[in-house]
A = this chain, B = another copy of it.
Amino acid sequence: MALTAPLHGVIPPVCTPLDPHGEVDTASLTRLVGRLLDAGVHGLFALGSTGEATYLTNHQRATVLETVVTATAGRVPVLAGVIDTTTARVLEHARTAVALGADALVATAPFYARTHPREIAAHFRHLRTATGRPLIAYDIPVSVHSKLSPALIRELAEDGTLAGLKDSSGDDGTLRRLLVALGGRTARRTGPAPAFAVLSGSELTADAALLAGADGVVPGLGNIDPTGYVRLYDAARAGDWPRATAEQERLVRLFDLTDTGPEDEMGRGSSALGGFKAALRLLGWIACRDTAMPQLPLSEESVAEVGRRLTEAGLLPAP
């Protein structure tokens, strides 16, 4: 679909189900997309960090995007992550994503290579010029090891390079300064729809981001409880902050399912992605909870803990 309205709402970064051979399980992915759309999400972000994009080969990435675009069938915009180290490599992903029908592209600053802000700006400008699709900057310092400054974001928003920001920096204070510089909550909520979309990647402060005027949220946990985030978003849009906050607190508790893997045995990434996939498996939405190499699998004990979190959150009956 063409991106006829600015991005907003709940846009889950879609998990990538794998089969026991490590290949993309397109049937499970199609089913997951269906569940998310049924829950009323406003967009889908394929091939993000939660989607294990950097663990997938180029061929696997294309399979994922094609599956998501097909399953979505134009009902909501599909954003495609084009995550790679530098411009030429990102551009290859971007061209594939355009060919497969992505409505917008989501790119980080270069990584591995160490780049200057002026080089980061050149990177985004080149991507925008070469693809012609709306471009979203993905700020995720925990992975990229540099932070996109508000000054840079504003410059690239004002000259039309960027159509939006996905903020996964966890730095809500800096995000607030950007939102205020872009007009602030009142201007963004009462004027014409803003041309530049601000999306928060935080599962834990979605209510606060919306209170601050963010247009949408991109929560990994939205794979597991899309209905909860849609309720949170609707309450926030209606100005019902007690309800939004109550929903957020339930989701914060549910987020504990990302922490069941022991810290001395596996990475926090494996624990979180393993937790998401174990939950999706327990919900019956995907067939297999495997994560991509070299991530280690959760133990059965950890999976049982994930199940208890789902039950506490009301997503699974008590066993």
Contacts and interface: CB of A to CB of B under 8 A. Distances in A.
Contact of A266 (B54, B119, B241, B295): B119
A49 B113 CA distance: 8
Contacts of A144: 112
Contacts of A67: none
A86 interface: yes
Main secondary structure of the interface of A (DSSP, over half): helix
Contacts of A211: 207-208, 211, 241, 245
Contacts of A245: 185-186, 211-212
Interface in A83-105: 83, 85-89, 92
A116 B266 contact: yes
A315 B3 CA distance: 43
B204 A119 contact: no
A75 interface: no
Contact of A239 (B57, B112, B204, B242): B242
A208 B212 contact: yes
A189 to B, nearest CB: 10
Contact of A265 (B118, B170, B252, B295): B118
A264 interface: yes
A234 interface: no
Nearest to A203: B173
A194 to B, nearest CB: 15
Nearest to A201: B173
Nearest to A271: B116
A142 to B, nearest CB: 7
Contacts of A145: 145
11 contacts: A54-B113, A86-B294, A113-B269, A115-B267, A118-B296, A119-B294, A126-B294, A173-B204, A185-B245, A205-B208, A207-B212
